[in-house]
């Protein structure tokens, strides 16, 4: 296992928050957006998963960045969105939009880790 790139974790969380902010609120405003700090948790989780894979394997197989980041979104986050949406009667169109936002946010996190490799 390699070390967790904590700089990438912080930047990945910021990029994910930016993507989510664009989907949900339009232009970025930092007032009232404290809950986007919660993106640090999945960014740290992704950073740990990538560190477990190791820098040597990631250098040989860079597609693993996208696979790991999108896998978290597709296997955990998006199904949870749909379950919560079904429970609360959220319209499908809104849930699809949120699903796309989270998938793009997680792919953006993977992109940050790839760039900062």
- The secondary structure of the chain in percent helix, strand, coil, rounded to multiples of 5, reads 85, 0, 15
Distances (CA, A) of 66 to 23, 33, 46, 88: 20, 26, 11, 31
Location of structure tokens 């490799």:
117
Digitized pLDDT (tens) for each residue of the chain, 117 residues in all: 779 999 999 999 999 988 888 887 766 555 556 667 789 999 999 999 999 999 999 999 999 999 999 999 999 999 999 999 999 999 999 999 999 999 999 999 999 999 998
Class of residue 42 by CB neighbours under 10 A (exposed 0-12, middle 13-18, buried 19+): buried
pLDDT for 112: 98
pLDDT of residue 102: 95
């Amino acid at each position: 296992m390699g070390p967790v790139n904590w700089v990438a974790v912080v930047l990945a969380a910021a990029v994910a928050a930016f993507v989510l902010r664009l989907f949900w609120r339009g232009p970025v405003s930092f007032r009232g957006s404290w809950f986007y700090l919660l993106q640090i948790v999945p960014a740290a989780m992704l950073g740990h998963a990538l560190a477990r894979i190791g820098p040597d394997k990631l250098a040989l197989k860079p597609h693993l960045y996208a696979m790991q980041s999108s896998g978290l979104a597709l296997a955990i986050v998006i199904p949870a969105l749909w379950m919560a949406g079904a429970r609360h009667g959220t319209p499908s169109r809104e849930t699809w939009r949120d699903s796309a936002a989270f998938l793009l946010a997680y792919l953006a996190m993977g992109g940050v880790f790839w760039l900062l490799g």
